[in-house]
Amino acid sequence: MAPAAPAAATHTMNKLLLHPAAKPLLFALALLPFAQLLWGAVANTLGANPAEALIRGTGDWVLRFLCITLAVTPLREAFGLTGLARLRRMLGNFAFFYGVLHFLCYAWLDMGLDLTGIVADIPKRPFILVGTLALLLMAPLAATSFNRAIQALGAARWKRLHQAVYAIGLLGLLHFFWMRAGKNDFGEWTIYAVVMAVLLGWRVRQALRRRAASRPPGARATS
| Closest distance to ligand HEM from the beta carbon of 23 (Å) | 24
User: Rule CB under 6 A: is residue 80 a binding residue for ligand HEM?
Assistant: no
| 63 contributes a contact to ligand HEM by CB under 6 A | yes
C-alpha dihedral, 4 to 7 to 8 to 12, nearest 10° = 180
Cα(182)–Cα(30) distance, rounded to whole angstroms?
A: 31
Should residue 196 be labelled a site residue for ligand HEM when binding is judged by CB under 6 A?
Answer: no
Q: Which residue in the set 62, 84, 87, 199 belongs to the binding site for ligand HEM (CB under 6 A)?
A: 62
Distance of CA 39 to the CA centre of its chain: 24
CA contacts within 13 A on the Cβ side of 6 = 7
Q: CA 70, CA 166: separation in Å to the nearest integer? A: 8
Burial 37-72, CB ≥16 within 10 A → b, else e: beebbeeeebeeebeebbbebbbbbbbbbbbbbbbb
Of the two residues 66 and 72, which places its CB atom closer to ligand HEM in the complex? 66
* 87-146 positions binding ligand HEM, by CB under 6 A: 99, 102-103, 106, 110, 122, 128, 131-132, 134-135, 138
Is residue 67 within the footprint of ligand HEM (CB under 6 A)? no
Best CA proximity match to 118, nearest among 97, 130, 132:
132
Which range in 7-15, 50-58, 81-89, 202-210 contacts ligand HEM by CB under 6 A?
50-58
Nearer to ligand HEM, 17 or 179 (CB): 179
Task: For ligand HEM, give the closer residue by CB, 14 or 145.
Answer: 145
Nearer to ligand HEM, 47 or 218 (CB): 47
Spatial separation of the C-alpha atoms in residues 126 and 124, rounded to whole Å: 6
Nearest partner of 136 among 166, 103, 163, 112, judged by Cα: 103
Contact 174, 128 (CB under 8 A): no
Q: In the stretch 161-180, what mask flags binding to ligand HEM with x, by CB under 6 A?
A: -------x---x--xx--x-
Distance CA 176, CA 173 (A): 5
Q: Is 86 near ligand HEM (CB under 6 A)?
A: no
**Binding positions for ligand HEM, rule: CB under 6 A:** 52, 55-56, 59-60, 62-63, 99, 102-103, 106, 110, 122, 128, 131-132, 134-135, 138, 168, 172, 175-176, 179
